Amino acid sequence: MGPGLCLVSAAGFGAMAIFGKLAYDAGVSPGALLLVRFSLAAVLLGTVLLVRPRLRRAEPRSHQHEPAGQPAGGRVRLLATAIGLGAVGYAAQASLFFSALELMDASLLSLMLYTYPVLVTVAAVVLGRDRLTPGRSAALVTASAGTLLVLLGAGGVSFHPLGALLAFGAAITYTVYILVADTVVHRLPPVVLSTLVMTGAAGTLGVRALVTGGVELDFALPGWFWLACIAVVSTVVAMLAFFAGLKRTGPSTAAILSTFEPVVTTALAALTLGESLSAVQLAGGVLVLSSVAVLQVRPSGPRSDQESRSARLGVAPSLSPGSRHHAGP
């Protein structure tokens, strides 16, 4: 049941680029897609919290190292940081991702975005939150070689330099977002954090829409259908399925199973959009995904489930053995 839920989650997230392409074909603009996605997801997650009040309560173990009687000011800062993650980090990452999707194939974009676990590992080492073991070093070299093959083998798909730049920008932005999220994911219930992040992102995109003259929402019914798929299937359902799967599998297994996402994207792109990757790119993709799986493997021992419960928000299990108990730099 647990691995199945994790795979359902990965399939939902992996289908997002396909839904985005189909929404564009139906006349939806990137601005409208982002605004509707985050607004609808925030409303749905808020409804889940109203229906299931227990999801608003953090598990006791997640606060066992928190000081008692946290000041009100600290709580306000915590909530502000959570909203800021969406208002700044997730809104920027999603904007870059869907802008790149206008210029390049979904399958290639998915593989390029999935360099972020490697970037997180490198950044964690540089920041002193993790150490570079021989196994991780080998994984990083493998991932770099795989990324190079993905880019050099662009003969089978439409390759756009600006699209590639936007895709890597999305990966870098997501890396920064994860490093900041690592300081709060252990102090808020996961569904509460997800709701705050979606609300923050919707707020930023709403303000941007007002400043730029609004977004066009008069597209046909198919456009609304694909937007609903992005918000419901690729955001809310995928997120909640991940949380449920994580409870049954643990953080390492859940993180490794998340490498199924770009596989789903590539397969769906071939089936529905007629996209194809060259043999060289497929080989590069295998190298990238294999390195990600290796990077997620941790030695057995006591770990906090809260670390990976927000893998969609704070991806890699933990950035250091002690990082789950204190804020990072």
Three-state secondary structure call for residue 225: helix
Query: How buried is residue 71: exposed, middle or buried, by Cβ count under 10 Å (0-12/13-18/19+)?
Result: exposed
pLDDT, tens only, 115-131: 888 888 888 888 887 78
* Tokens representing residue 207 in the block: 């303000």
Q: Tell me 171's DSSP state.
A: H
Give the residue among 32, 24, 27 at the shortest CA–CA distance from 208.
Answer: 32
Instruction: Domain ranges for the chain, please list them.
Output: 2-58+78-314
Instruction: Report pLDDT for 203.
Output: 96
- Decide: 163 and 100 in contact? Cβ < 8 Å: yes
290: phi then psi, degrees, rounded to nearest 5: -65, -40
Query: How buried is residue 158: exposed, middle or buried, by Cβ count under 10 Å (0-12/13-18/19+)?
Result: exposed
pLDDT of residue 211 exceeding 60, the answer is: yes
Instruction: Report pLDDT for 101.
Output: 94
Read off the pLDDT of each residue in 85-90 and give the average, rounded to a whole number.
93
Q: Kindly provide the b/e burial profile for residues 4-31, where b requires at least 16 CB atoms within 10 angstroms of the residue's own CB.
A: ebbbbbbbbbbbbbbbbbbbbebebbbb
What is the C-alpha to C-alpha distance for residues 297 and 177, in angstroms, rounded to an integer? 22
Percentage of residues of the chain with pLDDT beyond 90: 36
Task: Please report which helix (H) or strand (E) contains residue 187, including its range.
Answer: none
Type of residue at 88: V
pLDDT, tens only, 225-265: 999 999 999 999 998 888 788 778 765 666 677 778 888 89
pLDDT, tens only, 166-194: 999 999 999 998 888 878 877 888 889 88
The pLDDT-based confidence of 19 (bands split at 50, 70, 90) is very high
* Tokens representing residue 244 in the block: 């449920």
Instruction: Report pLDDT for 329.
Output: 33
Instruction: Report pLDDT for 162.
Output: 92
Read off the pLDDT of each residue in 297-320 and give the average, rounded to a whole number.
44
Instruction: Report pLDDT for 41.
Output: 96
Residue 129 Cα to chain centre, angstroms? 20
pLDDT, tens only, 24-47: 999 999 999 999 999 999 999 999
In the predicted model, what is the mean pLDDT of the chain?
A: 81
The pLDDT-based confidence of 317 (bands split at 50, 70, 90) is very low
> Who has greater pLDDT, 228 or 114?
228
Residue 146 Cα to chain centre, angstroms? 21
What is the C-alpha to C-alpha distance for residues 38 and 292, in angstroms, rounded to an integer? 28
Read off the pLDDT of each residue in 138-147 and give the average, rounded to a whole number.
80
Instruction: Report pLDDT for 270.
Output: 87
Task: Please report which helix (H) or strand (E) contains residue 140, including its range.
Answer: helix 134-152
The set of residues, in sequence order, having a beta carbon less than 8 Å from that of 268 and lying 6+ positions away, is 14, 15, 18, 106
Percentage of residues of the chain with pLDDT beyond 70: 80
- Decide: 179 and 123 in contact? Cβ < 8 Å: yes
Read off the pLDDT of each residue in 79-108 and give the average, rounded to a whole number.
93
